[in-house]
């Protein structure tokens, strides 16, 4: 493996979606005083947006029929687990009187999984779930914490896209449509809030 591929692999590993989710949620916990009602609500956010989606991986190893079908079946299960986690987050934000900011975050995540489903299952555009999962936290971090985060978030985004292309994990089109899903979800949620 060449040096560029090694660097790309390191970038991809340290910027996997669960890492970006925990960075986003922890940054909001530290910097935004009224974002969460309490530590329990922060931990619920971690459960909904990080833990439930990554349960697909241990589950796929425990169920022989899924394990036998390999990586593609594991990806399907990961998508289902993300839907479940984001749905719980969305439902929690509707049922429990959470802060408007946390509700916005949860609804954006839920809309992003709806957009991914629409792009991939309905109109067959093959949007990258990975690109969506990394774009969302970066956009939300810039939105909530401040525009001073725009340049660092853009640099992280460019590095992740570069690593995906170098490692041939996705095409430019898949990455574009995946990122677009997160951006559309964010903008749609923003428009709803302005109505």
What domain range is 106 assigned to?
3-194
Q: DSSP per residue over 133-170, as a string?
A: HHHHHHHHHHHHH-GGGHHHHHHHHHHHHHHHHHTTSS
Q: How far is CA 49 from CA 125, 150, 195, in A?
A: 24, 22, 27
The model's pTM is: 0.92
Domain count, the chain: 1
Measure CA 8 to chain center: 20
Residue-wise pLDDT tens digits, 165-185: 998 888 999 999 999 999 999
Residue-wise pLDDT tens digits, 49-97: 999 999 988 888 888 777 777 777 778 888 899 999 999 999 999 999 9
Q: Is the distance from CB of 130 to CB of 164 less than 8 angstroms?
A: yes
């Amino acid at each position: 493996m060449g040096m560029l591929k090694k660097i790309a692999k390191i970038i991809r590993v340290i910027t996997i979606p669960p890492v970006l989710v925990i960075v986003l949620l922890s940054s909001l916990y530290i910097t935004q005083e009224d974002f969460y009602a309490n530590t329990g609500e922060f931990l619920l956010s971690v459960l909904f947006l990080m833990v439930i989606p990554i349960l697909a991986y241990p589950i796929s190893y425990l169920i022989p029929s899924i394990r036998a079908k390999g990586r593609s079946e594991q990806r399907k299960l990961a998508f289902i687990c993300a839907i479940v986690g984001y749905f719980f987050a969305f439902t929690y934000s509707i049922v429990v009187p959470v802060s408007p900011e946390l509700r916005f975050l949860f609804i954006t995540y839920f809309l992003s999984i709806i957009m991914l489903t629409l792009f991939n299952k309905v109109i067959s555009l093959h949007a990258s779930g990975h690109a969506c999962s990394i774009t969302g936290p970066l956009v939300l971090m810039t939105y909530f914490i401040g525009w001073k985060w725009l340049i660092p978030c853009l640099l992280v985004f460019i590095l992740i896209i570069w690593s995906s292309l170098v490692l041939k994990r996705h095409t430019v089109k898949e990455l574009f449509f995946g990122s677009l899903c997160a951006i559309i979800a964010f903008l749609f949620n923003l428009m709803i809030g302005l109505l």
